[in-house]
Amino acid sequence: MSFDGEAGGMDFRPTDEHAQIRAMVRELCDTEFAPHAARWDQEAEYPAAAMAQLAELGFFGLLVPEELGGVGYDAMAYAIALEELARVSAALSVMISVHNSVCAWPIVKFGTEAQRARFLPLLVGGTLGAFSLSEPDAGSDAASLSCAAKKDGDTYVLNGTKNWVTNGAQAGVILLFARTGPEKGPAGVTAFLVTPDLPGFQVGKHEDKMGIRGSVTTELALTDCRVPAANVLGVVGEGYRIAMSTLDGGRVGIAAQALGIARAAYEAGVRHAKTRSTFGKKLYEHQPVAFMIAEMEKRVAAARLLVARASWLRATGRPHTIEASMAKLYASEAATFCAHRAVQIHGGYGYVKEYPVERYYRDARITEIYEGASEIQRIVISRELMKQAEAAEAAHTQEATR
């Protein structure tokens, strides 16, 4: 897909192409998936038919270039698709986000020709992908992971436990991080492409989650799991860099997901306020309810701009670490806020499963946690602010000495 973002000045209007993608995904979600989203949640049911349909329609190759068999969405189109998916089912969007952002994309970006040729057709064709960095004792502090990878001839022998693996039970390809070096910290981490057929690979317990229950999250147990050296993604010892660079994109994906949830909650809240009357007035005609609606609208609007900005920067190849973190931090907090207020506007109806808003409330909560908790985003932002300040100072000094 071409990206028409290089001419002119500020312009917050979507291109025709992006507007069409949004309309297409929304139509698909409203007609095909919306009727089932509550059931997937309540029965913690993996939506196999919906995922197959999404694969059929190209959603498993959103970030894979056309010449490699994908549909080659730019980062903005991709964010739009995730947002629209999340508006109907946060579970669907997280599975698609993980598959594309943090499994297929890093293979496109860092894979050898042989790795791309082997794994991308599988992924595009409907084999689900996963990303496995977290461990029981290494979450936000990912560099302290302890899963060991010892070289033995042409293979690495992996031992350890990974957890919080989205798509863990269904994935046919898992981008997994393990320690090849003896040293602590980021230097000894290496990225591996692991497949579940490898000896010593086992899917562990399935988590019983508060929300995004249609997606399956598991532990992975690696017991003398032998991974061919050919499956190392990128350079040995550079896994942490791959993980961080991958998460920049993942953050934009989760930000888009959070925006979709926020919008769903906002729209449900407004609709209910327009339908229900109390004390002889529509709910929205009471100022406290109107203020809740306004607060939701504002957060949705700001989240939309932050997500669009981060994805535009990414789509056009510009640096976007701070903007991705800002989008993720703000949109996730907007999602929990909007879901909370939507429940409040619904009153008792908001607390029962007959209405979707309690699902939004549970689904929204994870967005403040995964792909870097809010606290981590703030650390990233303040660190980048310092880099900007140092760069500005250096430029100023250079200017002065010239």
Cβ at position 90, least distance to other proteins in Å: 19
The single residue of 285, 371, 375, 393 carrying the catalytic annotation is: 371
Question: For 195-280, where are the E strands, in sequence order?
Answer: 201-206, 217-228, 232-233, 277-278
Interatomic CA distance for residues 27 and 304, integer angstroms? 20
Identify which range of 53-61, 100-108, 184-192, 319-327 contacts other proteins by CB under 8 A: 319-327
CA-based max dimension of the chain: 79
Q: Is 181 in the site for other proteins (CB under 8 A)?
A: no
Interatomic CA distance for residues 170 and 60, integer angstroms? 14
Interatomic CA distance for residues 304 and 81, integer angstroms? 13
CB atoms inside a 10 Å sphere around CB 58: 16
Nearer to other proteins, 174 or 265 (CB): 265
Q: Is 306 in the site for other proteins (CB under 8 A)?
A: yes
Give the three-state DSSP class for 142. Answer: helix
Task: Out of 14, 196, 200, 204, name the contact with other proteins by CB under 8 A.
Answer: 14
Task: Out of 55, 293, 339, 366, name the contact with other proteins by CB under 8 A.
Answer: 293
Asked if 335 and 302 touch (Cβ cutoff 8 Å), the reply is: no
Interatomic CA distance for residues 146 and 134, integer angstroms? 10
Contacts of 342 (CB under 8 A, 6+ apart): 265, 266, 268, 269, 272, 296, 350, 357, 360, 361
Nearer to other proteins, 54 or 300 (CB): 300
Which 248-287 residues touch other proteins, going by CB under 8 A? 266-267, 270-271, 273-274, 284, 287
Cβ at position 80, least distance to other proteins in Å: 11
- Which residue(s) pair with 156 in the sheet? 151, 227
Residue 1 is inside which H or E element, if any?
Answer: none
Nearer to other proteins, 45 or 295 (CB): 295
Asked if 252 and 307 touch (Cβ cutoff 8 Å), the reply is: yes
Q: Is 312 in the site for other proteins (CB under 8 A)?
A: yes
Identify which range of 8-16, 117-125, 212-220, 348-356 contacts other proteins by CB under 8 A: 8-16
Q: Is 76 in the site for other proteins (CB under 8 A)?
A: yes
Q: Which of 223, 230, 234 is nearest to 153 (CA)?
A: 230
Q: How many residues make contact with other proteins (CB under 8 A)?
A: 51
Cβ at position 216, least distance to other proteins in Å: 33
- Catalytic status, residue 6: no
Q: Is 381 in the site for other proteins (CB under 8 A)?
A: yes
Which residue in the block uniquely carries the two structure tokens 């690979």?
A: 201
Interatomic CA distance for residues 271 and 349, integer angstroms? 13
Q: Is 8 in the site for other proteins (CB under 8 A)?
A: yes
Which residue in the block uniquely carries the two structure tokens 């290089």?
A: 6
- Which residue(s) pair with 345 in the sheet? none
Q: Is 48 in the site for other proteins (CB under 8 A)?
A: no
Nearer to other proteins, 104 or 255 (CB): 255
Identify which range of 63-71, 95-103, 175-183, 301-309 contacts other proteins by CB under 8 A: 301-309
Which residue in the block uniquely carries the two structure tokens 């994935």?
A: 171
Total number of residues shown for the chain: 402
Task: Out of 142, 308, 324, 366, name the contact with other proteins by CB under 8 A.
Answer: 308
Judged by the rule CB under 8 A, the positions of this chain that interact with other proteins are 5, 7-15, 18, 76, 266-267, 270-271, 273-274, 284, 287, 290-291, 293-298, 301-302, 305-306, 308-309, 312-313, 322-323, 326, 329-330, 375, 377-379, 381-383, 385-386, 389
Residues with active-site annotation: 371
